Amino acid sequence: MKRALQIGLSLLAVSAVEAVAADIPMKAPVRAPVVAPVSNWTGCYIGGNVGGGWARNRVTWGGIVEAPTAFATDAATVIPAAANADFSATGFVGGGQIGCNYQFNSFVIGAEVDADYTGFRATRAATSVGTVNIAPGNISESFESKWLATFRGRAGFTTGPVLFYVTGGAALADLRFSDQICFPTAAIPACATSNASGNSRLGWTFGGGIEYMFAANWTVKAEYLYVDLGTVTTTSFGAPIAAIANPFPNATINNSHRVTENIARVGLNYKF
């Protein structure tokens, strides 16, 4: 009888413990934290870009000689007053780039080379006033730039997948110019004309941008570049419109063009 009572009390105690344990809330298993992938900007890349831009041409005419074998009196005053001006062109920009980066801590340095088509072309027309000494002159000026290449360094800092950078270096562009003034109502109708094509002009560029690494090997960027191509000077030579001997061998004009470009574009890069 005593043995049976001890067994019964033991069973009752076990049942009570199990009942209490069933009422205690259980903690969910602890999972390891998800670690975001580390963005690494070190490496080389290739990509393409598209955008738009605008170019400014600052024109200055000078070196005008007034003489019997050159221009009539007042030419050195009235011609530049009508010809000197700024005029601009806008156009599509698109091309490709290749470069390399090196990251240390949060800083990134690198170099990039690109080549873009630039559809910049503009013309301007004006008329110089006539005086008692010189007839009115019909002026036409134009410039064109079809491509741009840059060779730049880059430096910036990264906050993981985002890179903020500045960039600068050399720029090379194709520039073409045309300048002409004609005097159709002069005693001997004549024109002074200059055409310059295929001028590969070396200048400099500076800008900045932001680039985002949206996958391990892919980035997108938005970028702005200011390009200064300096001044190009050509010479217009005067000659009569009719097929006669030239009585104006000293009728020349120095046509100076200072060209700057502004480029805004977006790009896509694949990193090796």
Whichever domain contains 192, its CATH number is 2.40.160.20
Domain hosting 222: range is: 41-271
Question: Model pTM?
Answer: 0.82
> Is there a contact between 87 and 122 (Cβ–Cβ < 8 Å)?
yes
Residue with token string 């027309």: 125
- Report the domain count for the chain: 1
pLDDT tens sequence for the chain (272 residues): 444 435 443 443 444 444 444 454 555 555 645 444 467 999 999 999 999 999 999 999 999 999 999 999 999 999 999 999 999 999 999 999 999 999 999 999 999 999 999 999 999 999 999 999 999 999 999 999 999 999 999 999 999 999 999 999 999 999 999 999 999 999 999 999 998 876 789 999 999 999 999 999 999 999 999 999 999 999 999 999 998 999 999 999 999 999 999 999 999 999 99
Q: In 3D, which of 196, 205, 203 has the Cα closest to residue 256?
A: 196
Residues 159/104/154/223 CA torsion (nearest 10 deg): -20
Q: In 3D, which of 208, 204, 201 has the Cα closest to residue 227?
A: 204
Distance CA 114, CA 123 (A): 28
Residues 185, 60, 197, 249: is their CA dihedral positive or negative? positive
Residue 231, in any domain of the structure: yes
Residues 63, 235, 91, 267: is their CA dihedral positive or negative? negative
Residue 172, in any domain of the structure: yes
> Is there a contact between 92 and 233 (Cβ–Cβ < 8 Å)?
no
For residue 110 the two structure tokens come to 């690198």
Residue 22, in any domain of the structure: no
